[in-house]
Amino acid sequence: MRHLALIASVMLWAVGASAAAPDTVTVAVDATQPGAKISRHIFGQFAEHLGRGIYEGVWVGPDSPIPNTRGIRNDVVAALRALKVPNVRWPGGCFADNYHWRNGIGPRRAVTLNPDWGGVTEPNTFGTHEFMDFMAQIGAAPFISVNIGSGTPQESADWLEYMTSAQPTTLALERAANGRAEPWQVPILGLGNESWDCGGNMTPDYYASQMKIYSRFARNFHPQQQEGNPMLRIAVGPGGGEPRFSEWTETVMKAWKDRKWSWDIEGISLHNYTVIDWDRKHAATGFGAQEYAEILQATLKMDGLIKQHVAIMDRYDPQKKLALAVDEWGAWYAPAPGSNPGFLVQQNSQRDAVLAAVNLNIFARHADRVRFANIAQMVNVLQAMILTDKEKMLLTPTYHVFRMYVPFQDATFIPVKLDAGAWTQGQITLPRVDVIAARDAAGRLLLSLTNLDPVRPARIETSLNGASLRSVSGETLTAARVDSVNTFDAPGAVSPKPLRASVEAGRLVVTLEPRSVSVLVLQP
Ligand code: AHR
């Protein structure tokens, strides 16, 4: 191990007084054994036409008093730009299999229904052009889900031609007449959504047939996407660990292994929400240590679920050509009191920050297979980054975790060994700390350290093999309570603070506050 060159002064931000003394957890980072690239696409977002996720959350229209650019609110765009959002999955969700793209282009938009989400009307004022403009404004790649449930292969083929053709076809000319002469790139395409459920209750075999047809006919004609930069097609994968979902993964993977020249896919999805009882969902706020532990215990099952489906994928695809795209994940709580239950509005607490970090860490540990993930959802829906109330906007604790993790985008996974320790709440015993490491393109070593323990601080001593250190900077996110939230009256109540580490006897030493997420960046 090389000696650490510079000692950073110690300054820890502490939340309140903690009676417990920090026990020591030792971590060993071995930078001589780099792993897979942590795809930036695991930090993807999901934006469905659901409740106030698009309308108000993103789209306010060009005539709104809320500052906007071509109808898209400026405050939300600025906040998302800071996250370097790699891709946004749109227009759903269940909505995608109800969506008919022609309703969302041109000067006159059809008013339709949104039967899955509150039964409200859908004005279609936010359609293809507006979504692509939004992607350009935040610098993200579009991840378009085509309608397999109630659409047709021809409808999807036409949408792809409308978006991507550089040739003067009738559809490309219609796009130009609607204000966009240049074709758009479509880097990621979802072939349906939850086709085993809201997407049409298909059997695995029926879906596999549909997947082949849509893969064949929903073609991308963009001149720069023909070679070297092809559109990545994500088929519908499993939605849990039950036997029917193993069968689903098996069927899709077998179909892929037996594929012919005429069709292909580049990934399959996995949907997994953190819910304990769908009929009696946990509250998003006003909970205590027991509910905190129950939710973290449930969310940590993501690792086993990924392993279960990766094991099936490995049998058909040992070279790991296909990605596993966890393109819906996050906490799903009871609706906020007084809200339309169909709008899936929920507050977002420090528990969600911890939950987000441990899931991102799980994805990073499976970086060789998990190359996409999309948290549900981006604004005002489920585990959101951003909440709005008309002209007001706040950033949630989950937002702050995504912002702190930006350096991990496309960094190389570095293995760590640790004895995580344990904390116990009632019948539940969970790991006390969670750590991942990575090295970015600039050679910086990145450490993410999460203290799941709601009460005890943790002193972390890290040995570094194959890494030197000139200086270290860091941030930590914690809060007075596990259920602390940001509100429109106190939007900064839960926000990151500087965290510094020291070097003692050649080890990097830092103390983590209880219920905290921290990221350290070590300069080489
Ligand atoms: O994110 C909300 C819904 O959850 C999506 O529309 C659906 O795909 C999933 O069941």
Q: Is the pLDDT of residue 37 over 90?
A: yes
Pairing of strands 188-191, 141-146: parallel
Structure pTM? 0.95
User: pLDDT of 9-36, one tens digit each?
Assistant: 222 222 333 345 568 999 999 999 999 9
User: Which atom of ligand 1 approaches the CA of 376 most closely?
Assistant: 1
Q: Are 476 and 499 within 8 A, CB to CB?
A: yes
- The pLDDT of residue 290 is above 70: yes
- Which has the minimum average pLDDT: 18-27, 126-135, 387-396, 479-488? 18-27
Distance 94 CA to ligand 1 centre (A): 6
**Residue of 515, 468, 172, 476 whose CA lies nearest to 352:** 515
Q: From residue 49, how far is each of 90, 173, 177, 188 by CA, in Å?
A: 8, 27, 25, 19
Pocket test for ligand 1, best of 98, 99, 234, 271 (most atoms within 8 A of CB): 271
* Number of Cβ atoms within 10 Å of the Cβ of 498: 11
**Cβ-Cβ contacts under 8 Å for 177 (sequence gap 6 or more):** none
For 364, phi then psi, to 5°, come to -65, -40
Minimal-distance CA residue to ligand 1 atom 9: 93
Range 490-504 average pLDDT = 95
Q: Which atom of ligand 1 is nearest to the CA of 344?
A: 2
Atom of ligand 1 nearest to the CA of 46: 1
Task: State residue 329's pLDDT score.
Answer: 98
Single out the catalytic residue among 130, 194, 291, 294: 194
Ligand 1: atom nearest CA of 92 is: 6
pLDDT at residue number 295: 98
Work out which ligand 1 atom sits closest to the CA atom of 93.
6
Mutate to test the pocket of ligand 1, among 145, 193, 378 (most ligand atoms within 8 A of CB): 193
How remote is the CA of residue 193 from the centroid of ligand 1, in Å?
8
**Is pLDDT of 362 > 50?**
yes
For position 1, what pLDDT does the model report?
27
- Enter the tokens of residue 378: 């981006």
Which of 52, 54, 89, 94 has the most ligand 1 atoms within 8 A of CB, as the residue to mutate? 94
Dihedral angle computed from the Cα positions of residues 152, 155, 160 and 162, in that order, rounded to the nearest 10 degrees: 180
| From 56, 291, 328, 475, active-site residue | 328
Q: Where are the beta strands (DSSP E) in 31-91?
A: 44-46, 68-69, 72-73, 87-90
CA pair distance 261, 212, nearest whole angstrom: 11
Per-residue pLDDT of 192-235, as tens digits, reads 999 999 999 999 999 999 999 999 999 999 999 998 889 999 99
pLDDT at 470: 79
Per-residue pLDDT, 23: 83
Q: Whose CA is nearest to atom 5 of ligand 1?
A: 93
Give the pair of three-digit tokens for residue 355: 């939950």
* 62 CA distance to ligand 1 middle (Å): 29
If you write DSSP's letter for every residue of 358-403 in order, what string do you get?
HHHHHHHHTTTTEEEEEEE-SBSSSS-SEEEETTEEEE-HHHHHHH
Å from CA of 319 to ligand 1 middle: 31
In contact, 315 and 295? CB cutoff 8 Å: no
User: Residues lining ligand 1, CB < 6 A?
Assistant: 48, 92-94, 193-194, 198, 328, 376-377, 382
More confident residue, 18 or 263: 263
What's the 90 CA to ligand 1 centre distance in angstroms? 12
Query: Would you place residue 6 in the very low, low, confident or very high pLDDT band (cuts 50, 70, 90)?
Result: very low
Nearest atom of ligand 1 to the alpha carbon of 95? 6
Interval 150-182: pLDDT, tens: 999 999 999 999 999 999 999 999 999 999 999
Report which protein residue has its CA nearest ligand 1's atom 2: 93
Q: How far is the CA of 45 from the centre of ligand 1 (A)?
A: 13
Measuring from atom 3 of ligand 1, which residue has the nearest CA? Answer: 93
CA of 494 to the centre of ligand 1 (A): 28
Task: Answer yes or no: are the C-beta atoms of 372 and 362 closer than 8 Å.
Answer: no
Residue 3: is its pLDDT beyond 70?
no
CA 288/CA 455 separation, integer angstroms: 12
- The answer to whether residue 328 is catalytic is yes
Read off the pLDDT of residues 244-254 as tens digits, 9 standing for 90 and up: 999 999 999 99
How many CA atoms within 13 Å lie on the side-chain side of 68?
A: 21
